[in-house]
């Protein structure tokens, strides 16, 4: 497949997932940034004040609002200097998460999810439960929720895993279940299931090894002994065993998915 065709397919998948491709934003030019009033030459307090004004302005160009988020987010690393703007920044991000365009919404939720923000958690949960319009694609929402292993995404992850055919959604669901000790059986089944997506099987193996190394080892040995098993799965499992060592590491933190941009593999049946 050439790159143009791949891009067309990816955009089609994004549209199907509810992401409006047309309103995705490119980064603003340096001139745009300077004209907006938060160029590098200005004092930081002025820059943050201006960036907040732009972010709050629903009529501002999405590209500039995105740049404003980047400026403000960089400011958060300066701790005490940024403190006077923090509360307003969080308030504005919550507003953007609710009413911004898809790209802005995603950026805002990304930041809020990292902060384990309760408003973002509720918004993502209600979005996944279907009580409001989806704010981001399912896999992305799960990925955001997965960052809080003290959260409540387990039941949603189980439901998504039971109902969704999307590779990305299933993979993110498994990553969430990697911190749930009561999901060992489900993960073991997913790891063994030859009709499951390969990525999901691998993610299940990682999750099960994290939760129960012994159970993982037993399941892995069954896979290795199975002559009808796929060679790449056997290789992955053997690699995991050889790399594993006796001690499981901390719960894996799910990376934010770039959702549906990946090519969807066919599900192979036994």
Partner 1 sequence: MPPPMDPDATPLPDLALAEALEALKAPGCCASHRSLLLGMLREDHAIYRGRGASESERLRAFVLAGIVRAGLAESAMPYAMEELQTGMKPAGVAAAARCARLTTVRLDGLVTLLSEAFWRIRAVDEDVDLDHYPALEAATAMTTACGELIGALGNVAGGREALRVIASLCTSQGELEEGEASALRAALAGADDFTAAPFCCARASVEDVDLDLPSGSLSALSRTEFENQDGERSQFWQIAQNRVSLVAFFYTRCDNPDKCSRTISMLSRARKAIEERLPDIDAVVLGITYDPDFDLPARLRRYGSDRGWRFDERNQLLRTTSDFGSLRTAMSLGVGYGAATVNRHRLELLLIDADGHLIEFRVRQLSNEHSIVDALCNHLTASRMAGAARE
Residues that bind partner 1 (CB under 8 A): 79-81, 83-84, 86-87, 90-91, 94, 116-119, 121-122, 148-155, 179-182, 211-213, 246-248, 250-251
227: DSSP letter: T
* Range 176-202 burial, b when 16+ CB lie within 10 A, else e: bbbbbeebbebbbebbbebebbbebbb
Which CB atom, from 12 or from 99, has the smaller least distance to partner 1? 99
Shortest Å distance, C-beta 89 to partner 1:
9
Which CB atom, from 118 or from 226, has the smaller least distance to partner 1? 118
Which CB atom, from 10 or from 240, has the smaller least distance to partner 1? 240
Shortest Å distance, C-beta 142 to partner 1:
14
Shortest Å distance, C-beta 187 to partner 1:
13
d(CA 67, CA 60): 11
Shortest Å distance, C-beta 247 to partner 1:
4
d(CA 203, CA 191): 8
d(CA 182, CA 205): 15
Which CB atom, from 152 or from 193, has the smaller least distance to partner 1? 152
CB 44 within 8 A of CB 81: yes
Which CB atom, from 118 or from 232, has the smaller least distance to partner 1? 118
Q: Residues 257, 258, 263, CA angle at the centre, nearest 5°? A: 105
Shortest Å distance, C-beta 244 to partner 1:
11
Q: What is the Cα gyration radius of the chain?
A: 21
Closest by Cα among 156, 143, 147, 237 to 198: 237
């Amino acid at each position: 497949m050439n790159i143009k065709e791949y891009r067309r397919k990816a955009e089609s998948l994004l549209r199907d997932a509810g992401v409006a491709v047309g309103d995705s934003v490119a980064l603003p030019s340096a001139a745009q940034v300077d004209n907006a009033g938060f160029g590098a030459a200005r004092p930081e307090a002025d820059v943050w004040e201006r960036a907040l004004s732009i972010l709050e302005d629903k009529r501002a160009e999405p590209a500039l609002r995105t740049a404003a988020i980047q400026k403000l987010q960089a400011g958060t690393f300066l701790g005490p200097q940024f403190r006077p703007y923090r509360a307003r920044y969080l308030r504005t991000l919550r507003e953007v998460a609710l009413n911004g365009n898809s790209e802005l919404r995603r950026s805002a939720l990304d930041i809020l999810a990292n902060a384990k923000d309760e408003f973002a958690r509720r918004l993502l949960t209600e979005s996944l439960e279907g009580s409001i319009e989806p704010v981001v694609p399912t896999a992305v929402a799960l990925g955001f929720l997965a960052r809080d292993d003290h959260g409540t995404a387990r039941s949603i992850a189980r439901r998504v895993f039971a109902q969704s055919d999307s590779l990305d959604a299933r993979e993110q669901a498994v990553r969430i279940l990697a911190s749930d000790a009561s999901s060992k059986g489900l993960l073991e089944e997913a790891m063994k299931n030859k009709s499951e997506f390969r990525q999901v099987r691998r993610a299940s193996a990682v999750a099960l090894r994290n939760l129960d190394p012994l159970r993982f080892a037993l399941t892995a040995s069954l896979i290795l002994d199975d002559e009808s098993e796929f060679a790449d799965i056997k290789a992955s499992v053997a690699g995991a065993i050889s790399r594993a060592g006796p001690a499981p590491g901390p719960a894996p933190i799910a990376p934010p998915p770039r959702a549906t941009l990946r090519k969807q593999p066919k599900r192979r049946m036994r």
